């Protein structure tokens, strides 16, 4: 079980989270995006050995979706953010 | 009796009685089962797995390959326990394993006569014919003959638990290195946990004659442990085996509880910032012909039995210990116990054979000059050196590397959270272990910024002493699995040269000891036979558990009724008082039906259905997911999530809504109610409520952060009771609402907020799952019983009938309403379900794009239809397959669909069903076969509309 540093709650056990898969950039809902855009976003995520940004839902905690940059080879947690934090950084 | 008159860490004032194979024996608190057996003169403990050779006690710890027993206490039988690990308790019944009729006269030992024949892979090579012979004939016989103990089939009534601990520095093992590390960490103020697998702390210090700080090592250890226990930042745990290392500094350990505890074991999940692995080293046996007889013991084990347990494990001994200092120490220990030492083998000598049927009687050896000797003895102390116990390190890190100077697999330096120290990295000398523990703890403290970096030097691993020649003949490399040198040679000859293949072909290193005493010898044997460098051979993968862990501890309390949490709705207690029969539905314990007097379920359900159709019923709807959506962008947010048009909704209005997945399939259905300009409340189905909540929060937080919307899960805040039936509005009016509940003032698909009787806060929604006029009355959960009381009281005039899940399902099937998991099964488009018209063509929403894929728009898709028996009365079998043709003679039929629900409709008086049928809607009127190969029934059914009862909905609006 890995330890995820939740920006709201501090370091918490993986068991408190639900995995949300790799972070995906969904096509916009403006009627312009095509089938290929959606298929690419949903079914062809990058699957690198190395740093990957992924989503974790803190179900047994603050209920935030956090964006974790994790090295898939070593489980090293490189960065973590919630959307609100990301906005603040900008 | 071979108990020595004085000394040892046992309590001689208390006597513990136990039996071994029915023979009464005694021991003392502080004994292990092994030391107690030896104290009673019992060396022969078990028979070996394959050849049924007599086996005794080789070691004094969890590395023991031979002395496996079945232990019976008040909680039942536990097989395959190592006698060296079991703490002696009064009243134990211990039996030998793998022997018949008895451990002294074992018929199976005839197998060793054919030792050459029974080489590795023998069974699989020999019992190949006939083809099904293995399963049908041989396997049963062979498994009876070869194997370990028998599992107790009765339920385990012992208690277990799981708990968590956290610390800065976790020290595993309490020998010289562990104690020194724990002292250093504790004195620097780090929160420290010291765990020890044994019930006494001290490790090998307990039987050492070394002096530490002017004290005997065992006394120093005792003082050090007592001093640590007094510190508030230190937790000391004995009887706790750390068996696995996991990511980010997590160690799993199992604590075996003492006899007077009400629990048997506790699983500890320990999270530490740094872990110092001081698990010591395991002594390596010598491989020589006849090296498995009872009476042959590891040198360290002999010293331990004499000094710690005060037992003389023999009367005449031969010493074959490679390390000269340890050889001397072993000699000294034997003298302390008054044992006659007949010979001490010099380096370079070879043991050529042993004799003795059930116990060692003599050892044949050759000195380095080539002269042959035969020495009569009943104890042979062997040691080829030591193997670091770095298993926990190797489970996570890169692996171990064979080192020529120490002749062992050593952990390389890494930067992970776990650091082997002392014996676990090959340091065998007490003083060096103390230094290493302190240096490693300082390194960890510096990394945690809890102490300035001292950069203390770490001592080097202790080089191996020259060993003994190994002679020729049948010699066991792995005692637990009866793997001989010849088996390893056979594997090499047959091409199984990789270490992983040798392991699987010969079973070397498998079993309950996982090759703790055999592994390095195996590597060296492969190296010798193949002429390769042992460093090239490597090792197999180390996996948890380090030593066997009782399954009960891994399960903890999560068994039986405690397996998963059970949720109760706010009406649960009231329903219990009403005699409700409950049913598990997902997490919930949901009302199934409400029998009156001695009614059967069928009678009760029909009565409940009739009440809803003809009078008045009430049903608990609290399990529905309810999500409050607020904010300036709430409407836009919902409009993107639901496939139907939401934008025309007005405050006070409610709409049935369908949510699609990103891939275009139907995800969930529910209602959207508008409470104010920027305020909505939506429902999700019971089964999907958690998923819908997660789905919505993800879009709000991650994908569309630009939308100003706030979601609140209000599912548990509201109790919800639906009143349904022709008198529903009468009852609502009788409940004295403070809002207009007339037919015009409160029509279908509206939401009203207010009070009933001026004091009961409610949100009432006019929606219907049953097809009858219906009002879903929501009240804050704490008011649930008040609401139910009033509904029951005021509804008595119309004989209000509480109904449950069974009737709810019957009523919705009559109306063709959808249910999650049956109709909405994750493979259906809105059009498949007959809801194609709901999909908006005017806006973009989640699922729109991928819904346009050709396969989802194809004309040959299965569509939901209603079905009735052609003869009007034959029951339609559940789960039937729909087919155009009857089942042919060979029992096959080509299906064109299947049923999702089949009932006998109380309202219509005949069977009806729902099902998916290829191109179903254009086949209205066709007659098909509904066939159930399970029940063997075939019924002719006619395709009709999905909604069988009141298809125009006149009852609802009338």
- DSSP assignment of B773-815, as one string? -EEEEEEEGGGHHHHHHHHHHHHGGGT-EE--HHHHHHHHHHH
CB atoms B246 and A1 under 8 Å: yes
Q: Is the peptide bond before B787 cis (omega within 30 degrees of 0)?
A: no
Window 839-878 of B: residues touching A by CB (8 A cutoff) are: 843-846, 848-850, 852-853
Residue B713 to residue A65: CA distance in whole angstroms: 15
Cα distances from B466 to residues B377, B424, B477, B534, B535, in angstroms, run 24, 21, 19, 17, 18
Pairing of strands B408-410, B418-420: unpaired
CATH of B625-713, one of 3.30.1490.100, 3.30.70.1400, 3.40.50.300, 3.40.50.261: 3.30.70.1400
User: ipTM of this predicted complex?
Assistant: 0.95
Residue B374 to residue B372: CA distance in whole angstroms: 7
A46/B contact by beta carbon, under 8 A: no
Instruction: Give the distance from residue A29's alpha carbon to the nearest chain B alpha carbon, in angstroms.
Output: 5
pLDDT tens-digit map of B509-522: 988 888 999 999 99
Domains B158-283+387-464+539-563 and B286-383 belong to one CATH topology: yes
Residue B447 to residue B441: CA distance in whole angstroms: 10
Number of H helices, E strands in chain B: 25, 48
Nearest CA in chain A to B852: A35
Closest to B364 (Cα-Cα) out of B334, B315, B320: B320
**Residues of A in Cβ contact (< 8 Å) with B662:** 26, 38, 42
Q: Could you please state the CATH topology (level 3) that the domain comprising A3-24+38-89 is classified under.
A: Folate-binding fold (3.30.2270)
Closest residue to A75, CB basis, from B248, B702, B850: B248
A15/B contact by beta carbon, under 8 A: no
Residue B606's contacts (CB-CB under 8 Å, 6 or more residues apart) are B906
Window 678-697 of B: residues touching A by CB (8 A cutoff) are: 694, 697
- pLDDT given for residue B470 in this prediction: 74
Q: Is B136 exposed, middle or buried (0-12, 13-18, 19+ CB in 10 A)?
A: exposed
Write down the domain spans for chain B: 1-149, 158-283+387-464+539-563, 286-383, 572-623+717-812, 625-713, 859-957
Interface probe, candidates B250, B417, B701, chain A, greatest A C-beta count within 10 A: B701
List phi, psi (to 5°) of B899.
Answer: -85, 150
Write down the domain spans for chain A: 3-24+38-89
CB atoms B250 and A38 under 8 Å: no
Closest residue to A2, CB basis, from B248, B698, B848: B248
Residue B358 to residue B56: CA distance in whole angstroms: 9
Alpha helices in B717-871 (DSSP H): 728-734, 784-795, 805-815, 848-851, 854-857
Closest to B440 (Cα-Cα) out of B166, B167, B179, B165: B179
Q: What CATH number was assigned to the domain covering residues B572-623+717-812?
A: 3.30.1360.120
The DSSP letter of residue B530 is H
Extract the residue ranges of chain B whose pLDDT is less than 50. Answer: none
B398/A contact by beta carbon, under 8 A: no
Residue B522 to residue B489: CA distance in whole angstroms: 11
Residue B449's contacts (CB-CB under 8 Å, 6 or more residues apart) are none
Residue corresponding to tokens 């090759």:
B515
Other C-beta atoms closer than 10 Å to the C-beta of A52 total: 18
Closest residue to A34, CB basis, from B250, B843, B849: B849
Q: Per-residue DSSP letters for B196-212?
A: -SSSSS-GGGGG---EE
Residue corresponding to tokens 């603050």:
A62
The DSSP letter of residue B830 is T
Query: Is A27 in contact with A21 (CB distance < 8 Å)?
Result: no
Pairing of strands B192-195, B159-172: parallel
Instruction: Give the distance from residue A23's alpha carbon to the nearest chain B alpha carbon, in angstroms.
Output: 9
A67/B contact by beta carbon, under 8 A: yes
A37/B contact by beta carbon, under 8 A: yes
Nearest CA in chain B to A24: B703
Window 227-266 of B: residues touching A by CB (8 A cutoff) are: 246-250
Closest to A28 (Cα-Cα) out of B764, B603, B640, B726: B640
Q: B425: alpha, beta or left, given left = phi > 0 and alpha = psi -120 to 50?
A: alpha
B665/A contact by beta carbon, under 8 A: no
Q: Is the peptide bond before B545 cis (omega within 30 degrees of 0)?
A: yes
Cα distances from B347 to residues B35, B325, B331, B379, B520, in angstroms, run 30, 13, 15, 19, 20
| Tokens, residue B54 | 């007599």
What does the longest C-alpha to C-alpha distance in chain A come to? 42
Query: Is B656 in contact with B611 (CB distance < 8 Å)?
Result: no
CB atoms A57 and B694 under 8 Å: yes
Chain-centroid distance of CA B727 in Å reads 53
List phi, psi (to 5°) of B584.
Answer: -75, 130
Residue B699 to residue B684: CA distance in whole angstroms: 16
The pTM assigned to this predicted structure is 0.89
Interface probe, candidates B702, B707, B842, B844, chain A, greatest A C-beta count within 10 A: B702
Other C-beta atoms closer than 10 Å to the C-beta of B740 total: 10
The DSSP letter of residue B548 is -
**Residues of B in Cβ contact (< 8 Å) with A35:** 849-850, 852-853
Query: Is B553 in contact with B257 (CB distance < 8 Å)?
Result: no
Which CATH architecture is the domain B1-149 placed in?
Answer: Roll (3.10)
pLDDT tens-digit map of A31-40: 889 999 999 9
CATH of B158-283+387-464+539-563, one of 3.50.50.60, 3.40.50.1980, 3.40.50.1970, 3.30.1130.10: 3.50.50.60
CB atoms B853 and A2 under 8 Å: no
List phi, psi (to 5°) of B166.
Answer: -135, 145
Residue B815's contacts (CB-CB under 8 Å, 6 or more residues apart) are B769, B770, B771, B947, B948, B949, B950
- pLDDT given for residue B375 in this prediction: 97
Cα distances from B91 to residues B22, B42, B59, B71, in angstroms, run 12, 18, 24, 10
Kind and range of the H or E run holding B938: strand B937-944
Q: Is B101 exposed, middle or buried (0-12, 13-18, 19+ CB in 10 A)?
A: exposed
B163/A contact by beta carbon, under 8 A: no
Residue B774's contacts (CB-CB under 8 Å, 6 or more residues apart) are B722, B723, B724, B725, B728, B766, B767, B768
- pLDDT given for residue A90 in this prediction: 42
Query: Is B814 in contact with B905 (CB distance < 8 Å)?
Result: yes
Torsion of CA B594, B600, B601, B602, to 10 degrees: -120
- pLDDT given for residue A89 in this prediction: 44
Residue B12 to residue B16: CA distance in whole angstroms: 10
A78/B contact by beta carbon, under 8 A: no
Long-range contacts of B442-449 (CB under 8 A, 24+ apart): B442/B184, B443/B419, B444/B169, B444/B185, B444/B274, B444/B276, B444/B419, B445/B169, B445/B184, B445/B185, B445/B188, B445/B190, B447/B274, B448/B168, B448/B169, B448/B190, B448/B273, B448/B274
What class has domain B859-957? mainly beta
Cα distances from A67 to residues A46, A80, A81, A86, in angstroms, run 15, 6, 5, 10
Query: Is B881 in contact with B898 (CB distance < 8 Å)?
Result: yes
Instruction: Give the distance from residue A79's alpha carbon to the nearest chain B alpha carbon, in angstroms.
Output: 15
The DSSP letter of residue A50 is S
**Residues of B in Cβ contact (< 8 Å) with A82:** 701
Nearest CA in chain A to B702: A83
Query: Is B458 in contact with B492 (CB distance < 8 Å)?
Result: no
Nearest CA in chain A to B248: A2
Closest residue to A65, CB basis, from B250, B698, B845: B698
Residue B134 to residue B140: CA distance in whole angstroms: 8
Other C-beta atoms closer than 10 Å to the C-beta of B847 total: 26
Other C-beta atoms closer than 10 Å to the C-beta of B374 total: 14
Residue B821 to residue B824: CA distance in whole angstroms: 5
The DSSP letter of residue B377 is -
Residue corresponding to tokens 């009771």:
B721
What class has domain B286-383? alpha beta
A88/B contact by beta carbon, under 8 A: no
* Three-point CA angle B766, B768, B771, nearest 5°: 135
What is the length of chain A?
Answer: 90
């Amino acid at each position: 079980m890995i330890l995820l540093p939740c920006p709201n709650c501090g370091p918490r056990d993986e068991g408190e989270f639900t995995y949300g898969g790799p972070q995906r950039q969904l096509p916009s809902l403006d009627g312009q995006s095509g089938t290929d855009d959606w298929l690419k976003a949903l079914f062809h995520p990058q699957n690198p050995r190395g740093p990957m940004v992924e989503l974790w839902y803190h179900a047994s905690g603050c209920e935030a979706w956090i964006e974790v940059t994790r090295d898939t080879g070593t489980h090293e947690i490189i960065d973590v953010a919630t959307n609100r934090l990301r906005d603040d950084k900008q | 009796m071979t108990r020595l008159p004085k000394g040892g860490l046992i309590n001689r004032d208390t006597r513990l009685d136990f039996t071994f194979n029915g023979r009464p024996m005694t021991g003392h608190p502080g004994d292990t089962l092994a030391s107690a057996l030896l104290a009673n003169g019992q060396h022969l403990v078990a028979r070996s797995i394959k050849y049924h050779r007599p086996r005794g006690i080789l070691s004094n710890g969890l590395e023991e390959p031979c002395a496996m027993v079945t232990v019976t206490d008040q909680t039942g039988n536990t097989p395959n326990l190592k006698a060296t690990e079991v703490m002696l308790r009064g009243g134990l019944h211990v039996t030998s394993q793998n022997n018949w009729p008895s451990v002294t006269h074992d018929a199976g030992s005839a197998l060793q006569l054919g030792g050459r024949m029974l080489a590795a892979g023998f069974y699989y090579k020999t019992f190949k014919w006939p083809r099904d012979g293995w399963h049908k004939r041989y396997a049963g016989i062979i498994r009876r003959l070869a194997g370990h103990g028998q599992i107790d089939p009765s339920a385990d009534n012992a208690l277990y638990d799981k708990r968590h601990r956290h610390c800065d520095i976790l020290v595993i093992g309490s020998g010289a290195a562990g104690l020194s590390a724990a002292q250093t960490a504790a004195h620097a103020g780090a929160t420290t946990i010291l765990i020890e697998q044994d019930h006494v702390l001290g490790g090998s210090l307990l039987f050492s004659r070394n002096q530490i700080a002017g004290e005997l090592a065992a006394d120093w250890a005792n003082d050090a442990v007592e001093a640590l226990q007094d510190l508030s930042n230190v937790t000391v745990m004995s009887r706790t085996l750390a068996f696995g290392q996991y990511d980010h500094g997590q160690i799993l350990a199992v604590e075996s509880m003492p006899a007077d505890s009400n629990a048997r074991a506790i699983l500890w999940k320990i999270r530490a910032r740094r872990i110092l692995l001081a698990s010591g080293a395991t002594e390596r046996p010598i491989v020589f012909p006849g090296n498995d007889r009872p009476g042959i013991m590891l040198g360290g084990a002999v010293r331990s039995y004499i000094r710690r347990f005060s037992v003389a494990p023999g009367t005449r001994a031969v010493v074959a210990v490679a390390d000269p200092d340890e050889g001397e120490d072993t000699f000294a220990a034997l003298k302390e116990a008054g044992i006659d030492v007949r010979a001490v083998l010099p380096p370079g000598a070879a043991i050529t054979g042993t004799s003795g049927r059930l116990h060692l009687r003599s050892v044949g050896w050759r000195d380095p000059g080539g002269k042959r000797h035969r020495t009569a003895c009943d104890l042979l102390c062997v040691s080829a050196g030591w193997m670091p116990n770095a298993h926990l390190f190797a489970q996570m890190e890169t692996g171990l590397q064979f080192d020529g100077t120490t002749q062992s697999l050593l952990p390389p330096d890494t930067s992970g959270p776990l650091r082997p120290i002392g014996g676990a990295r090959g340091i065998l000398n007490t003083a060096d272990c103390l230094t290493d523990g302190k240096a490693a703890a300082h390194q960890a403290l510096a990394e945690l910024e809890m102490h300035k970096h001292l950069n203390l030097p770490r001592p080097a691993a202790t080089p191996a002493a020259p060993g003994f020649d190994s002679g020729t003949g049948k010699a066991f490399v792995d005692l637990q699995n009866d793997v001989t040198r010849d088996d390893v040679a056979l594997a090499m000859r047959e091409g199984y040269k990789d270490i992983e293949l040798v392991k699987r072909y010969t079973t070397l290193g498998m079993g309950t000891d996982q090759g703790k005493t055999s592994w390095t010898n195996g590597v060296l044997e492969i190296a010798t036979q193949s002429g390769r460098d042992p460093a090239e051979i490597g090792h197999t993968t180390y996996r948890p558990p380090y030593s066997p862990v009782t399954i009960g501890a891994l399960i903890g309390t999560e068994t039986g009724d405690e397996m998963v949490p059970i949720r109760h709705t706010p009406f649960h207690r009231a329903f219990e008082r009403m005699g409700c029969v409950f049913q598990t539905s997902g997490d919930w314990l949901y009302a199934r039906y409400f029998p009156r007097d001695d009614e059967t379920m069928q009678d009760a359900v029909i009565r409940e259905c009739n009440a809803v159709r003809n009078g008045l019923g009430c049903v608990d709807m609290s399990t529905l997911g309810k999500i409050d959506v607020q904010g300036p962008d709430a409407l836009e947010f919902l409009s993107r999530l639901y496939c139907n048009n939401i934008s025309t909704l007005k405050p006070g209005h409610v709409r049935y809504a369908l949510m699609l997945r990103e891939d275009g399939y139907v995800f969930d259905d529910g209602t959207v109610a508008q409470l104010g300009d920027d305020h909505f409340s939506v429902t999700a189905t019971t089964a999907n409520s958690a998923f819908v909540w997660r789905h919505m929060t993800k879009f709000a937080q991650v994908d569309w952060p630009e939308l100003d919307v706030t979601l609140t899960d209000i599912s548990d805040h509201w109790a919800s009771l639906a009143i349904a039936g022709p008198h529903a509005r009468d009852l609502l009016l009788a409940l004295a609402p403070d809002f207009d509940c007339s037919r015009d003032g409160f029509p279908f698909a509206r939401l009203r907020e207010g009070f009933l009787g001026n004091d009961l806060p409610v949100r009432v929604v006019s929606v219907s799952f049953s097809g009858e006029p219906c009002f879903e009355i929501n009240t804050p959960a704490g008011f649930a019983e008040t609401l139910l009381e009033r509904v029951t009281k005021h509804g008595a005039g119309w004989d209000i009938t509480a109904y449950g899940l069974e009737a709810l399902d019957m009523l919705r099937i009559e109306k063709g309403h959808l249910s999650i998991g049956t109709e909405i099964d994750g493979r259906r488009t809105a059009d498949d379900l007959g809801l194609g018209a709901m999909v908006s063509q005017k806006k973009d929403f989640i699922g729109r794009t991928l819904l346009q894929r050709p396969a989802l728009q194809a004309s040959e898709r299965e569509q939901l239809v209603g079905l009735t028996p052609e003869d009007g009365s034959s029951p339609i079998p559940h789960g039937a397959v729909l087919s155009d043709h009857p089942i042919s003679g060979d029992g096959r039929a080509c299906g064109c669909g299947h049923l999702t629900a089949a009932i006998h409709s109380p309202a219509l008086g005949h069977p009806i069903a729902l099902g998916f049928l290829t191109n179903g809607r254009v086949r209205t009127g066709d007659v098909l076969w509904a066939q159930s190969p399970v029940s063997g029934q075939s019924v002719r059914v006619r395709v009709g509309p999905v909604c069988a009862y009141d298809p125009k909905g006149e009852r609802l609006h009338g």
